[in-house]
Amino acid sequence: MSLKISAKSTEAQAKARLDSTEWKRYLSITKQEAKTLAAEHREWSSWVQVHADAQANVLRRVNEQLEAEKIPKIHVDILDWRMSQVVRRVSSLNTPQREISSLADRPHEQPPAEQPPAKQLSASKMPYDPVKDDAMHNG
């Protein structure tokens, strides 16, 4: 039975058969992979947008790193569970920076000029209300 994307972390850890220390390393390795994806492919804001060959490469690299640390390999459903969360999170954290860097890549385009702040209504100056205005003048 495959792991659901909505599964809790404890369920994913149990299915992966990793102890606490191994699980922390797995989370760290996959977070770094997500950061790398976000840096190289700004257009990928979710795991399902990542091309199949790139997903396979991530699985290979993660398992190579785990194996180098004598941690059991993980299966694709464990990777899908984790990357679905972390790619979205990393992408959302990078969004403002992405907009700034995209402007830096296009120096001929200027950012929109700042608009002056909207006029604030003071307590004594309320917006025009024809009913109240009529009552005050004819009352």
**pLDDT tens, residue by residue, 49-89:** 999 999 999 999 999 999 999 999 999 999 999 999 999 88
Write out pLDDT tens, residues 80-126: 999 999 998 888 876 654 444 444 444 444 444 444 445 444 445 66
Question: Which of 33-42's residues contact partners 24+ apart within 8 Å by CB, and which partners?
Answer: 33/58, 33/61, 33/62, 33/83, 34/83, 34/86, 34/87, 34/89, 34/90, 35/90, 37/87, 37/90, 38/87, 38/90, 38/91, 38/94, 42/94, 42/98, 42/102
Q: What is the pLDDT of residues 12-40, one digit of tens each?
A: 999 999 999 999 999 999 999 999 998 88
pLDDT number for residue 137: 66
Q: CB–CB of 84/37 below 8 Å?
A: no
pLDDT on residue 16: 96
Q: For residues 28 and 12, what is the distance between their CA atoms, to the nearest angstrom?
A: 15
Band of residue 9 on the pLDDT scale cut at 50, 70, 90: very high
Q: Is 131 exposed, middle or buried (0-12, 13-18, 19+ CB in 10 A)?
A: exposed
pTM: 0.65
